[in-house]
Amino acid sequence: MENFNFVQLDFGFECEPESTQKKSSKSNKKRSNDFVFNFMDCLTSPIIVFKSAWKDTIPRDILKNIKLSRLLCSMQQEEMASLTETLAYMMPRTYEAPMPTEWVNIYTWLGLQYAIQFKNSGQLNAMTEIAPSKLSEYEMGRLNSLRSWIYDKRRKALKDRLKIAEKSETNILSENQKILFEE
């Protein structure tokens, strides 16, 4: 057999040679588990809202549209809470006390985005008058931080719920086995 020497040519692309690149392929089982967990996250995770006595005042149409918004974010591979979910989180906080200007801008902008996304003409007319059309970089940074925080809390809550369900399932199985073998 001949011993081949490989030469890698530089065409000006900024990437590492193939032999030193990190292998980032996940196994099929891991990918399917991630898909299933992400799908469960979109449909069954609890809705995280600001702890307040006002949390019951969130309109039903916003709560109803959160699952759809989560699915849209998941399809776009955003690892953040949806804008609708963030709006629902902030809503009870707005009833507590006045907020700083940047958070008012973020909250009203979220309301405008919700009205645009779900084609609510009554809300859209009202929101276009009061909401900023664009957020500053600072406000976008604050919003993205809040969205990431809500996303992390939501996924942690789902993982905790799954662990509790798995433990109770294990206990039930072991009790059923004891009953079967005692008779």
0.85 exceeded by pTM: no
Please determine, for residue 22, whether its predicted confidence score (pLDDT) is greater than 90.
Answer: no
pLDDT-based confidence at 177, cuts 50/70/90?
Answer: low
pLDDT of 19 higher than 70: no
Q: How confident is the model at residue 84 (pLDDT cuts 50, 70, 90)?
A: very high
What one-character-per-residue DSSP string does 83-108 give?
HHHHHHHHHHHHHHS---HHHHHHHH
Tell me what percent of the residues of the chain surpass a pLDDT of 90: 34
Nearest to 117 by CA among 61, 43, 42: 61
3-state secondary structure of 179: helix
C-alpha span between 32 and 58 (Å, rounded) = 34
Q: Is the pLDDT of residue 92 over 90?
A: yes
How far is Cα 86 from Cα 147, in angstroms, rounded to an integer? 6
pLDDT digits (tens, 9 = 90+) for 126-154: 888 888 989 999 999 999 999 999 999 99
pLDDT tens column, 26-40? 566 666 668 888 888
For residues 87 and 107, the answer to whether their CB atoms sit within 8 Å is yes
Does the CA dihedral 169-171-174-176 come out positive or negative? negative
